[in-house]
Structure 1
Amino acid sequence: MKAGSRFLNAVSAFALSASVVASGAGVSVLASASVAEAAVIRNVQVRGAQRAGEEAVRANLTIRPGVSFTNADIDESVKRLYSTGYFSDVRIAVSGSTLVVSVSENQLVNQVVFNGNRKIKDDKLAAVVQTQPLGPYSQELVNADIERLREAYSAIGRSDIEVTTQVVPVGEGRVNLAFVINEGDRTKIANINFVGNQAYGDGRLQSVILTKESGPLSFLTRKDVYNPDKLRADEDALRQFYYNHGYPDFRIISSDAVLDETTNQYNITFTVEEGARYRFGDVVVESTVEGVDSQDLQGLVRTRTGDTYDAAEVQKSMEAISQRVASAGYPFARVTPRGDRNFGNQTIGVSYLVDQGERAYVERIEIRGNTRTRDYVIRREFDFSEGDAFNQQMISRAKRRLEALGYFTTVNISTSQGSAPDRVVVVVDVEDQPTGSFGVGAGYSAGGDGLILEASVEEKNFLGRGQFIRVAVGGGLDDARSYSLSFTEPYFLGYRLAAGFDVFKSQTSSEDYYDYDEQGFTLRVTAPITEDLATTFRYTYKDIEYSGDGDWQTGLSAPYRALVEQGDFTQSSVSQTLTYNTLDSNTLAREGIYASITHEYAGLGGDSEFYKIYGRARYFHLLSDEADIIGSVAVGGGHVVGTGDNLNVFDQFMLGGRLVRGFENNGIGPRMPNGDPLGGTTYFTASAEATFPMPAFPEDFGLRGAVFADAGTLYGNDVGNSAGAVGTDMSWRASVGAGIQWASPFGSIRVDYAFPVVKEDFDEEQQFRFSMANQF
């Protein structure tokens, strides 16, 4: 009795009521509780849960029979029940020793449809909204879905979208929900202006940023869509551009986007302050780590006294030093650049200080945003994994590698505190982009083969695995045909080895004499030596066949006739290539060198026995930073020597329009009396080119002009007793020409016209060449 009396008195003394407001639905719900602090109930009674079921309600309660509870438990239980989205009203009360939970259920959604949408398909919008069929109907959730739809349309440049809803009851507590969309007109970008820029014109800076002005083809590129996040990325791109071109004091004062509602167009203005341009002063390496010699690290520094200040080169120097020190057994060593500014002569001396950093370990690598590329493709670009020592320079190197893959529009790497002070979480945010492409190449020879075409399809991130695959088909009016298939696995057996194969088949015909068929395969593997240098090993097998009808051998010299009478040949060879690449961009290089040299030996069986060495180097340099005029020079050469009796025709080099424009692909060098190319044992080529933005076109339109001059020679012959062959002496050919290249929405398009100025009578000309490659 006394215990019961104490319980009732406690109920009376601590009775309370709590008011819970469901703000999203605009409904005020009163949950009354006459319960003592630290009270206990014996059972739970649920009322009104016809569809959800009593067990679903009980599962969301924090109150259990036989366990004491407080007002906080009642509040938490009410919040949990509302958070399920299945209830519009929740009341909890105590009746004696029973907890009574009364709920009113939301209607269920029977079907979700979209009306009025044309620019974004239903399946895309269904993935945006959270209201789903067979889920609860909640006005709060619907309002949030309307905002999500607005954001989705804003991303494609339709900021004036209007979204309303229609709710139709279908009985048994179910409704059909329709989102009615008025897509409106597409929001465009009328102008992108820069204020305060003196060193670079607006056109040059517009080519740096991602956002573009609206034009006739903007509906294909979608680069004229205003987005605040993209504007922030544009600010970063401008900073990096100036920092890498000698302006360490550059800053963006403001970036404003103003919408003209009368035209539904944005006007974007970047206000900048460039500051003075600096060069590097004295550059030294200092070390406070015992056992690390500063002089040994000096050769790793890429910054040179007198060069224009370049923040990217400073970063690469830090990475190279950090990697060398870590490999020497100091994983926690830290490299910090320290600048010594001289305002008088506008130089910045840089001291790279190597000291012992804090001990920190990578707890985990968290990858976000990749909808297509698989996680392991991203993880393998890092030189560390979970549990390894944390190194900031390795983060920068991984970011550069990920950006170079071409799989992503954006790559951002940040860090956060882990579960302990010495633990770091690395967060990688990426956004996938299309990585497939198709290409079309064409050439025309007025007096020879006529129109020549090649089409190709390639995917450099096959199935999101980072694998490369390419299929190409070519042909001409003279029954020439070519087919090829290439595949590359960039991380063979989990190592940084790019292994792959090529399968090919081609057929060409002499106008009057013979058919030439070639088919075979190549196995290859590429290994990096440094960040800029790589080596490739190949094995190639070819089957070659000459054939013809009737008197097809008539007119051929005796050695050539003896060659083709044998009919079928095989070639088995191994080769190695060294490639050096310091280009700042693989799409539009402005600075850097791309060079390769190959030596090849044939004689592992088959009918060919030779040793070849050949290579080519091309240097890019920005002739005018302000006008964006890019100059390049290239040189190449090769020599083959027979290691057996004689070389075959197909063992020798062929030279033409790919290296010396204005001529057919095999249009230069020794030839048989009937005009068929014989090839040569030695060749040299040289080329000079300048490209520039086309006048009267905005630079971000991507249209550039080119002027060039090419020269080359192919000579020598070791194909048996080739009596009657012409062009075996070292006679140079040269051509001059002009071209137009366009980074169009359809892909990169280039048209060249070249006119030979030095040639031989027997050379085959091809003045016009066309090529195109496109992303999909």
Structure 2
Amino acid sequence: MKAGSRFLNAVSAVALSAGVVSSGAGVAVLASAAVAEAAVIQRIDVRGAQRVGVEAVRSNITIKPGQSFSNADIDESVKRLYATGFFSDVRISVSGGTLVVSVSENQLVNQVVFNGNRKIKDDKLVGAVQTQAMGPYSESLVAADIERIKEAYAAIGRSDVEVTTQVVPVAEGRVNLAFVINEGERTKIDQINFVGNNAYSDSRLAAVIQTKRSNMLSFLTRKDVYNEDKLRADEEALRQFYYNHGYADFRIVSSDVAMNDAGNEYTINITVDEGERYKFGAVSVESTVEGIDGKELERLLESRTGNTYSARDVQKSMEAISRRVSSGGYPFARVVPRGDRNFENNTIGVTYLVDQGERAYVERIEIRGNTRTRDYVIRREFDISEGDAFNQEVVSRAKRRLEALGYFTTVNISTAPGSASDRVVLIVDVEDQPTGSFGIGAGYSVGGDGLVVEASVEEKNFLGRGQFIRVAAGGGLEDSRTYNFSFTEPYFLGYRIAAGFDLFKNQTSSNSDYDYEEQGGTLRFTAPITEDLATTVRYTYKELKYTDDGAFGANGVAGGGDDTLSQPYIDMISGSPWKQSIIGHSLVYNTLDDRTMPRDGIYASFTQEYAGIGGDSEFYKVYGKFRYFHTLSDEMDIIGSVAASAGHVVSTGDSLNVFDQFQIGGKELRGFDTNGIGPRLNGDPLGGTTYMTVSAEASFPLPLFPQDLNIRGAVFADAGTLYGNEVANSAGALGTDMTWRSSVGAGIVWLSPFGPLRFDYAVPVAKESYDEVQNFRFSMANQF
């Protein structure tokens, strides 16, 4: 009886694993099951594998001649053969000393085509589906491919897409597969409503999240596409916003999404509970690690008593302590913040506890979801690798770096137990996003080149390697031309050193007396000193050509034209071409919270240059700039900024050339033309040896425009001076003394899909009679 039970159990296991449906096959398998526990086969007989091949079947079988096998081996072999996708039926039986493997082959796909798709190109859909030409045809795989196509269309706002298939036999065992797509109408987002918010307006919160209401430019930005994962990311963005502005008890009560089928539009309702606003109470560091003094670590803290509570400041403080402790020889040290809420005065005291922590090592880093960005591009942002001590603060820093790259819509890092109790597996889930962009910029110069337009194409993640490439070309109505090409490898030779080069060529004939052409290149290397501070070393070589345009003879004297040029300009033309060979070094400090529209932070740079290793220029030049941003009103979204810049150049030879000196104008001092201020001779700008500028600005949302259009107003005041002169043959030049100019104005800033655009109108309130005025200025991109 017991033997019969064992027999029947073995029979059931093998019959289920082999998927036997006919009684005859069942008998064969049952017979094999009786000997499966101890049988040893001598050969494998494969039947039915006409196209796939006998050896391909045998390579997926775990059972080998001369070795004993069990029911588990039969089960695993069946699973492997089905997993190849080449077979619709698999049966395994034993006949004497022979293992008989009978298979029925799936049809092969001769060709995969897509019909009806206009919004997503064929190459994108080919990459999305798993069914491929010369691969097996599987109905389950095709069903999964239909869902993948629907997901691709949902990502561009076409959730009602319909996908069917057509299968056409073309030869024995071969079929053509067509996915027939009805793209449907594009879904939109009609309303995004916030409920329960008192501290911040709906428009302010709408600026925090990535999902936007549909507008006339949504077809470019795609920010009005509803996606559940995107909504979860928006919820997290709202949490971080409130946590960083003092609302430690903030929570999202609900997020409801309603679809209006008639208009094919979504309405999103987000209900929040803001809670009370807190400030930091007493802040301290306590250490239980021998050799680490908590008092000495307190100077590293970003969180300060009396400041508005900010989760970001707590995180930065934890990371700063962790870096210091780890560098001191304690790689497993752990930093844990302990909060102490005082509900009477709305303060949160924070004590940072430093203890030894558990000894844990990184077993492996597993990266998932990256369809374009290569694994090593993600791995190199971690300061730890397999085998290193696990440190949560290092992982948090890597997450911020990955998010700052701009390659991914979402970045999530989680942990899983490793193969031992002291092993941890890091799981990095990312979702790639488009990183290429096309930009159009324009400017207008009164009395200069007139309208100037530049078009550029850039890719921040070239071929998924993390490399940056930019190509730009521009021109003006007055026959000016600009060409630029830039390339940057962010991790040169595997080190955290950004190496790159720039090639440029600029030419203009806007001046009636001479033409100008400049061409050359720059080689540069940038290395980080800290998370916020970086240093750059560069070498620039360029050639400058000035031609007389028919106004001057071969000796540089008047040739019958309208001679208005000063002697320094005549010297430039007669000495052309000129060569410059410049070595430069810069320090850049950047804590801006957003590169496109900063609300808080500092951007400061200091640069020094030396020219004289070859070439016609000999000088030492230093210059720098500083700009500070601060949100003046969170509720009204008013952003204030102050800026200052200065520079000085000295000759290391006999004198300076005109093009060696500083030239400033409308870019630095709005209300004035390019090269519009500073020393002049016969109306020609000579530039100056010293300059200083200061400015103050406040920007705010324009009330008549929807927040989703990202159009802001600005008011500003600028002041500056450019003076000093060391150019030869320039006796009698005006404006060599330090005279300040100033202007006030207003502008409109549009964060367009092509990049930030500015429209400024400024009026000089202090100027010299020989200065050149330009009230209106149209420019592109932020200048820091």
- CA spacing shift, 1:100–1:654, aligned 2, 3 Å: closer
Secondary structure at 1:344 match in 2: coil
Q: Is the 8 A contact 1:557 1:724 kept in 2?
A: no
Q: Does 1:636 align with 2:645?
A: yes
Is 1:245 aligned with 2:245? yes
Q: How does 1:729-744 map to 2 (within 5 A)?
A: 729-744=737-752
Moved more, 306-315 or 105-114: 105-114
Judged with a 3 Å threshold, the aligned counterparts in structure 2 of structure 1 residues 439 and 758 are, in CA distance, closer, same or farther, namely farther
Q: Deviations over 1:351-382 (max 9, x none)?
A: 11111111112222223333333333322222
Asked if structure 2 preserves the Cα contact closer than 8 Å seen for 1:445 and 1:767, the reply is: no
Contact 1:448–1:764, Cα closer than 8 Å, also in 2: no
Residues 1:676 and 2:684 aligned together: yes
The equivalent residue for 1:34 is 30
CA displacement at 1:90 relative to structure 2? 4.7
User: Corresponding residue for 2:765?
Assistant: 757
Deviates more, 1:434-443 or 1:646-655: 434-443
2: CA distance between counterparts of 1:765 and 1:325?
A: 57
Say if 2:720 and 2:741, in contact at 8 Å, map to a contact too: yes
Q: Do 1:445 and 1:765's aligned partners in 2 also have CA atoms closer than 8 Å?
A: no
RMSD, matched Cα: 3.4
Calculate the TM-score normalised by the size of structure 2: 0.89
d(CA) in 2 for partners of 1:356, 1:301: 20
Contact 2:19 2:90 in 1 (8 A): no
Among candidates 624, 636, 654, match of residue 615 of structure 1: 624
Structure 1, 273-282 or 255-264: larger mean CA deviation:
255-264
Separation in 2, partners of 1:417, 1:535: 40
Q: Distance in 2 between matches of 1:602 and 1:720?
A: 18
Shift in Å at residue 308 of structure 1?
Answer: 0.9
In structure 2, do the counterparts of structure 1 residues 539 and 69 end up closer, same or farther at CA, with 3 Å as the change threshold?
closer
The CA distance in 2 between the partners of 1:298 and 1:9, in whole Å, is: 76
Question: Residue type of the partner of 1:706?
Answer: A
Shift of 1:660: 0.7
**Is contact 2:247-2:274 (8 Å) kept?**
yes
Is 1:19–1:29's contact at 8 Å kept on the other side of the alignment?
Answer: no
For the residue of structure 2 that corresponds to 1:292, the secondary structure is coil
**Could you give the per-residue CA deviations for residues 383-410 of structure 1, whole angstroms, max 9, x where no partner exists?**
2222222111111111212222223222
**Cα gap change, 1:166/1:128 in structure 2, threshold over 3 Å: closer, same or farther?**
same
Return the offset for 1:668: 0.8
Counterpart check, 1:719 vs 2:715: no
Amino acid at match of 1:683: Y
- Aligned partners of 1:22, 1:116: CA distance in 2, in Å? 42
Q: Provide the aligned length of Structure 1 versus Structure 2.
A: 766
What's the secondary structure of 2:681's corresponding residue? coil
For residues 489-543 of structure 1, the C-alpha deviation after alignment (integer angstroms, 9 at most, x for no partner) is: 3333333223333344444558454444444443333232222222223334444
Measure how far apart 1:619 and its partner are.
0.8
- The answer to whether 1:707 aligns with 2:715 is yes
Deviations 1:282-309 (A, max 9, x none): 1112211111122322221111111111
Instruction: Give how far 1:95 is off.
Output: 6.1
CA distance in 1, matches of 2:778, 2:18: 64
Q: Deviations over 1:167-187 (max 9, x none)?
A: 334452444333333222222
Counterpart code for 1:582: T
Distance in 2 of aligned mates of 1:113 and 1:769 = 51
After superposition, the C-alpha distances for 1:692-744 in whole angstroms (9 at most, x for unaligned) are 12213221221212222222111222324633322223222222222222222
Structure 1, unpaired ranges of 5+: 1-7
Paired residue secondary structure (2:313): helix
Q: CA deviation at 1:624?
A: 1.0
CA–CA distance in structure 1, aligned partners of residues 152 and 399 of structure 2: 28
Following superposition, the deviation at residue 161 of structure 1 comes to 2.5
Q: Which runs of 5+ in 2 are unaligned?
A: none
SS of equivalent to 1:524: strand
Preserved contact between residue 279 and residue 348 of structure 1 (Cα < 8 Å): yes
3-state SS in 1 of match to 2:317: helix
Change (3 A) 1:412 1:680: same
Residues 260-279 of structure 1 mapped to structure 2, 5 A cutoff: 260-279=260-279
Aligned-pair CA distance for 1:94: 5.9
CA 1:290–1:471: 2 relative to 1, 3 Å: same
CA change 1:48–1:683 in 2 (3 A) is closer
Separation (CA, whole Å) in 1 of partners of 2:569 and 2:358: 74
* Aligned residue in 2 for 1:601: 610
| Aligned-residue offset at 1:555 | 5.0
- Residues of 2 paired with 1:704 and 1:432: CA distance? 30
1:584 CA drift (Å): 0.8
Counterpart of 1:188?
A: 188
Amino acid at match of 1:430: V
Deviation at 1:652, TM superposition (A): 1.8
Q: Closer, same or farther in 2 for the Cα pair 1:220/1:516, shift >3 Å?
A: closer
Shift of 1:629: 1.1
Whole-Å separation in 1 of the counterparts to 2:19 and 2:778 = 61
Other-structure match for 2:635: 626
- 1:414-438 CA distances to partner (integer Å, 9 max, x unpaired)? 2222222222222222233333344
Cα separation, 2, equivalents of 1:164 and 1:560: 73
Partner letter of residue 754 of structure 1? A
* 8 Å CA contact retained: 2:414, 2:427: yes
> Mapping of 1:170-209 within 5 angstroms?
170-209=170-209
Letter aligned with residue 349 of structure 2:
G
**What is residue 4 of structure 1 aligned with on the other side?**
none
Q: Is the 8 A contact 1:543 1:569 kept in 2?
A: yes
Q: Aligned in 2, Cα 1:73/1:652: closer, same or farther, shift over 3 Å?
A: closer
Q: What does residue 161 of structure 1 align with?
A: 161
In structure 2, the CA distance between the partners of 1:763 and 1:478, relative to structure 1 (3 Å rule), is: farther
Contact 1:21 1:28 in 2 (8 A): no
Q: Distance in 2 between matches of 1:667 and 1:14?
A: 95
Deviating more after overlay: 314-323 vs 138-147? 138-147
Structure 1 residues 381 and 95: CA distance shift in structure 2, 3 A: closer
Which amino acid in 2 is paired with 1:752? D
Residue 497 in structure 1 maps to residue 497 in structure 2 = yes
Q: Distance in 2 between matches of 1:51 and 1:690?
A: 73
Paired position in structure 1 for 2:379: 379
Q: Which moved more, 1:190-199 or 1:460-469?
A: 460-469
1:378–1:402 contact (8 Å) kept in structure 2:
yes
Structure 1 segment 367-766 matched on structure 2, within 5 A: 367-508=367-508, 511-548=511-548, 549-551=550-552, 554-556=563-565, 561=570, 565-673=574-682, 675-720=683-728, 722-766=730-774
Q: With the length of structure 1 as denominator, give the TM-score of the two structures.
A: 0.90
Give the CA deviation at 1:113: 3.1
Q: Helix, strand or coil: the match of 2:120?
A: coil
Write the mapping of 1:342-361 to structure 2, written as runs, cut at 5 A.
342-361=342-361
Asked whether the 8 Å contact 1:413–1:426 carries over to 2, the reply is yes
| Stretch moving more, 492-501 or 502-511 | 502-511
Letter in 1 for 2:391: N
> Would the alpha carbon gap of residues 118 and 667 (structure 1) be closer, same or farther in structure 2, given more than 3 Å must change?
same
Distance 2:389 2:702 in 1: 50
Which amino acid is 1:274 matched to? E
Residues 1:288 and 2:284 are matched in the alignment: no
